[in-house]
Structure formats: C-alpha cells, structure tokens
Chains A and B, each alone.
Chain A
Amino acid sequence: MGTIVVQNLGKAYKQYPTRWSRLGEWLLPVGGARHKLKWVLTDINFQVAPGEAVGLIGINGAGKSTLLKLITGTTQPTTGSVWMEGRVAALLELGMGFHPDFTGRQNVYMAGQLLGMTVDEITRLMPQIEEFAGIGDYMDQPVRVYSSGMQMRVAFSVATARRPDILIVDEALSVGDAYFQHKSFDRIRQFRQEGTTLLLVSHDKQAIQSVCDRAILLDGGRLAKEGKPEEIMDYYNAMIAERENETVRLNDAGDGKVQTVSGTGEATVDDIALLDEQGQRVEVVDVGAAVTLEVRVRINAPIPRMVLGYMIKDRLGQPMYGTNTHLKGQPLENVAPGEEVVYRFAFPMNLGPGSYSVATAIVSTETHLVNNYEWRDLALVFTVMNMRRPHFEGSAWLDPAIDIQRTRVTQ
C-alpha cells in the first residue's frame, strides 16, 4: 500500500489553428489530425516507495500542477501511465465544492462525500474534524461568514480526516495562520510516521527539506534532477539565478555532499575558512567560541558594486543565520580585475552541537536574482561540539541566567 509508479508519463494539449478545424477533425475522417500537440510534460519516470516522502519542485510552468493532476487522475495522460496502490487523498485545492450559504457542518458532509466517504463515516469522524478545525461555534454558521483561513481549516480537517495511504499536497498549506500551519504540518508528519506516502509540491525550501526524503526537480516539463532534498534545493536555487552565460557546476565537497557553484563568474571565492581566536583554521568549534569566517574573493572582471553574503545552514539545509555586506552597509564600489578582497566576519559560535555548512554568494544587491556573480553552496562544512558547557538541546546557544525563588506559601 502506498506505492506510486510513474512510467513514461507525458501530457500534451491539442492545439487547433481555428475553432472550425476541430469540427473538421471530428466529422471528416479524411485529412487526418488537424491539431498540433503542445507537450507540457514528457518522459517522466519515477517511483515512490511506501512510506517515502518526495518533494516536487520547479519554477512556475515547469509542469508540477499538471503532473499532480495526472497522478490524482483528474487529467488523462497522453502517453505512459500512473500506477498507485492504496487510498489517495489529494490536497490540491482546499475548499473545493464549498457552498457559501450552507453551514460549515453541512459543507463538511458535502466535501466528505465528494471524497467518497459515506454519511455514517462522516458523522463518526465529525467530532474529530470539528476539534481539529478548531473554529468553535462557527461550525454551525454559513460558510460565507468565514474568513478564508477558517474555510481552509475546515477543508483541511475534512480532507485529512482519514489517514490516506498516499497523500498529495500542493502548496495548499501556505495559507492559514502560523498556528494552523504548524498543526497541519504536524498532522502530515504524523501520517508519515504511520506509513503514509507523501508527495509534496512546494516552493518552500524548509517544508521540502524538513519533511522529504527525496526531491524531484521538474524543468520545462522534464524530470531535470532527482536526489537528496538539500542537493536538489541548492541546484534549484542556482537554476533560478542562472542566466544565459551562467554555468551550474557540481563539485564533490568530499564527504559525499555535492557542492553547487553557479554564476556569471566576474568574481569567485578562492578560499574560505573558519579561524579560531589564534587565527588557526578549525573544522570543529566549541559552542560559544569566538570565530572568524574568512572569505578570499578573486576579481575576474570589473564590478561596479559588489556584495558578499553568507548563510550558515544545518545538516538539513535549514538556514541558521545569513547576512551580507549590503545589509550591513558595507558594499564595495568599482572593484577591478586583479584585486583580491578578503572579508572577515567575526562572531561567537552560538549554535548547538551538529554539522553545519556555509553557502556564499557574490552579488550586487541584497538578493542573488539581479546579478549573480557567484553562488556557492556547501562552500565550507564545519562541526560544532559542546566541549565545556552542560548538555543542552537544539541548534541555538541561548544560555540563560537562571533565577529561582522558593518561598513557603502558608495556607
């Protein structure tokens, strides 16, 4: 239960030169096809094993939504096939089929029936649906008085009332307030622990990296890359920044992780190191130790305005801290070829124990989307260890001073 097998999947839309040519094709057997095929997805092959969580990423128009529609069966494939085992729940668009004049409760019945549940089943699940939606008395008010967030809470609660074998989620979770986002994400995580296969489409790096075991990158209707979420997300970010004259390179960083380098190449990071207080290179740092991140940049072509940024990420690729010289008010103007610029960022290593990586970006403004001279993921990998402090949990070092007052309360 919970397997998805996608084989040679392709989807093309028929395009007719005029409205009359479709009529001609239908009615006149002679003359053959009068349409052109516009392929939006070609040759997609992948498998998702039971219990696996796979993230699907790609820019707008890459074919993500079409792929999901093919998988859920709302659209018929032109070539290939999708094979699935188990009960599927798709959160493609929440609140479909809600009628504004009916109460939340009545709409729950309707939405549930649309998902193939029986009235008895919905009645049985109702207390749980109500509790999860957490909108109180609003449940018996017409949906038209709901905020969009409330509507989405109810819709999510119905759609996930039963644990499916396969759960397909399309960015629907980006709506709703932060509290409900956490709640819904927890439910998805819980389903995963109970063995649900997950297919998640998102632009949200964190969502993909924190939930998925694997990621698939779609580009121009093709499966461009498949691999670890961290690696695919880095590649995706580099791809977004890619210009005509840019290149994306993959270097092996040594420990099995793959370094992605992209950019137009006017400047490159020649060397990057983490130095301790004595100026010695270190790879292992104690919690709270004062360190300096030293980045040597070589200039290959004139750059009117240069900004260096760095981001420290944990082993899941989640950002811990990132800044750049634009944000800190220290951009460099008119740097010329032949120059070498050395940046030193001194800070205390207030991170929890674990493995971290540093990504660097040489750009002209605060983002890498305007000019991307060089983007380097996993430029440096280091480990933080707790050598001198009492044990603590988490990835931040937020050491408290503890004050406790103890008094006897007479009754």
Chain B
Amino acid sequence: MISPLMLRGLWAYRGFVLGSVKREFQSKYVNAMLGAVWSVLSPLAMILVYTVIFSEVMRAKLPGHTSSAAYSIYLCAGILTWGLFAEIVARAQGMFLEQANLLKKISFPRICLPVVVVLNALVNFGIIFGLFLVYLIASGHFPGAVFFAIVPVLLVQVLLAVGLGMVTGILNVFFRDVGQFVTIAMQFWFWLTPIVYPASILPDNIRPVLTWNPMAAVVQAHQAILVEGRAPDWNALLPATVLALLLCILGLRLFRKRSGEMVDEL
C-alpha cells in the first residue's frame, strides 16, 4: 500500500518533516516572554484541574474504588488519550485545505503532511502524558511493568486516528461538508465513549452498544492499565485494530488515487 516511492520521498524530506514539527511547536510560543514554558504550563493546569479539583475538592469517587485519586486517574487516562486521538483527526481532516497554497505551488512529497500532523500531536501528547506520569509516580499510583502495555494500545489508537484523518482529510477537499460533519460527530463520539463516566453506570440494555464503539475499547484499555494496573482485554481491541488497518488502507488508496485531482480542487 505504501509504495517505496512514497517512503523514499518521505526520507528525502525528513528534514522538512522534522523542521515543520519543530516550527509548529515553536510558533505557538515564539513571541511569548516565557516561551516554551507555556507548552508545559497549560497541560499542567489541565492535569491539576482533573487531579486536585476532582479528587480533593469535589471528592468524586469511582464506583468500586476507595482511593480518592482513582477518579482523577480514570479521567486523565481517558481524556488525555482521547485528546491525542481527537487532535490527529481534527488536524488531519483540515491539513490539505490549510496547506493549499503549498500544495499548489511547490512540488514536495504530499505524504509529509499527515506525518507532520501525527508527530505534532505526539509531541503535545508526550508533554501532557509525561506530566501525568510524574503525578502517578509522585502519588504512588504508577501501575508498574504493566504500564508498557499502553504502547500497543496507543499504536492502535494512532492508526485509527490516522486512517480516519486521512480519509476525512481527502474527502474534505472534495466535499467540504465532511469537515463540518466530523467536528460535530467528534463531540458526540466523546460523550458516547466512557471517558468522563464509567461504563458501569450505563443501563444494562445500553451497555452492549459500546462494543460498537471502537474507541470505547481503546479508552477502556488505557483505563484498565492506568487505573486498575492490569493488562487490557486484548480481544476487545481486535475490532478497533481491524478498523484502524482498514481505514489506513482506504486512506492510502484514496490518497494515491485522488492526490493529483486534489490539487485541482484546492
């Protein structure tokens, strides 16, 4: 699916890809006095809100857990990883339209654009998730060796996001309605995934619907690792994995078939 030509183009433009990632990161803070400190401060504030406010001030409890920190960790496990997913989808969906000028004027491997989007989202996620890890270790909630099970789960999640982002990103060039629709759909999707609430509070007749939500399995896997400290239910991740691969294949096929036509539409 990924032709060697694409990979060679990507390799030749690795400097551009890394430079773009670096620049996009810097561009947010280049005119600020505190500079890159902000890139840590705003996620830190978010983590503080979820941990201090929910566990200490509101004393929110997760059903079946006695620790006051359990709900905070549950919330962070869901929201931070959903944030990565949502950022990739949202950015990928608009990447071709945003870079219309570049695509029309300069000949460069277009596959660079989605790679830049994913790397950028990973950098942002790395910062906020790193802070979260510091909190976990400091508060004695680090799950131990099972933590590394998060890597394959994140991989599935990123693939799912990339596949979805590529497909919607390309379709969005031809049908601008797609972008609008995805923005709305993502909000519903967030609340249809057990991130803020635990799946157990759902009525029994509704709960099976969650099996149709691939992100529910992904988020629940993160929660199992970070909250319960146990390995995720790998079988439950299978549909999400298959869907992720299918979307990636579809995305690449669309990309190869339509990328020429895309420039005419921009």
- Chain A residues proximal to chain B, CB less than 8 Å: 13-14, 19, 22-23, 69, 72-76, 90, 92-93, 96-97, 99, 101-102, 106, 109-110, 113-119, 142
A73 to B263, CA, bound (A): 11
Contact B15 A118 (CB under 8 A): yes
| Contact of B181 with A by CB under 8 A | no
Contact A97 B174 (CB under 8 A): no
What string of 1s and 0s marks CB contacts (under 8 Å) between B132-144 and chain A? 0000000000000
- Of the residues A14, A75, A109, contact of B19 by C-beta under 8 Å: A109
Give the residues in chain B near A113, CB-CB below 8 Å: 13, 15-16, 19
A97 to B26, CA, bound (A): 15
The smallest C-beta distance from B80 to any residue of chain A, in angstroms, reads: 28
Question: B residues 241-264 with Cβ under 8 Å of A?
Answer: 260-261, 263-264
Give the residues in chain A near B107, CB-CB below 8 Å: 72-74, 90
| Contact of B103 with A by CB under 8 A | yes
Give the residues in chain A near B102, CB-CB below 8 Å: 96-97, 114
- Chain B residues proximal to chain A, CB less than 8 Å: 12-13, 15-16, 19-20, 23, 26-27, 30-31, 101-108, 174-175, 260-261, 263-264
Contact B27 A74 (CB under 8 A): no
Contact A92 B105 (CB under 8 A): yes
Contact B263 A74 (CB under 8 A): yes
Closest to B175 in A: A23
Contacts A74-B104, A142-B30 known; list 15 others, CB within 8 Å. Answer: A23-B175, A75-B263, A75-B264, A93-B105, A97-B102, A97-B106, A102-B27, A106-B23, A110-B16, A110-B23, A114-B106, A114-B108, A115-B106, A116-B16, A116-B108
Give the residues in chain B near A119, CB-CB below 8 Å: 15, 19
Contact A22 B101 (CB under 8 A): no
A-B contact count (CB 8 A): 67
A116 to B260, CA, bound (A): 20
Give the residues in chain A near B260, CB-CB below 8 Å: 75-76
Main secondary structure of the interface of B (DSSP, over half): helix
The smallest C-beta distance from B253 to any residue of chain A, in angstroms, reads: 13
Give the residues in chain B near A76, CB-CB below 8 Å: 260-261, 263
Known: A114-B106, A116-B12. A96 touches B23 (CB 8 A): no
Give the residues in chain B near A75, CB-CB below 8 Å: 104, 260, 263-264
10 contacts across the A-B interface (CB closer than 8 A): A14-B261, A14-B264, A69-B104, A74-B103, A74-B107, A76-B261, A101-B30, A115-B106, A116-B12, A116-B16
The smallest C-beta distance from A398 to any residue of chain B, in angstroms, reads: 44
Give the residues in chain A near B15, CB-CB below 8 Å: 113, 117-119
Known: A74-B106, A90-B107. A101 touches B261 (CB 8 A): no
Known: A74-B107, A96-B105. A102 touches B30 (CB 8 A): yes
A142 to B27, CA, bound (A): 12
Contact B264 A13 (CB under 8 A): yes
Give the residues in chain A near B20, CB-CB below 8 Å: 110
Closest to A26 in B: B174
Give the residues in chain A near B175, CB-CB below 8 Å: 19, 22-23
Contact B16 A114 (CB under 8 A): yes
Contact B27 A101 (CB under 8 A): yes
The smallest C-beta distance from A172 to any residue of chain B, in angstroms, reads: 11
Contact B174 A22 (CB under 8 A): yes
Closest to A12 in B: B264
Closest to B24 in A: A99
A252 to B104, CA, bound (A): 43
A102 to B20, CA, bound (A): 12
Contact B23 A102 (CB under 8 A): yes
Contact A99 B23 (CB under 8 A): yes
The smallest C-beta distance from A97 to any residue of chain B, in angstroms, reads: 6
Give the residues in chain B near A22, CB-CB below 8 Å: 174-175
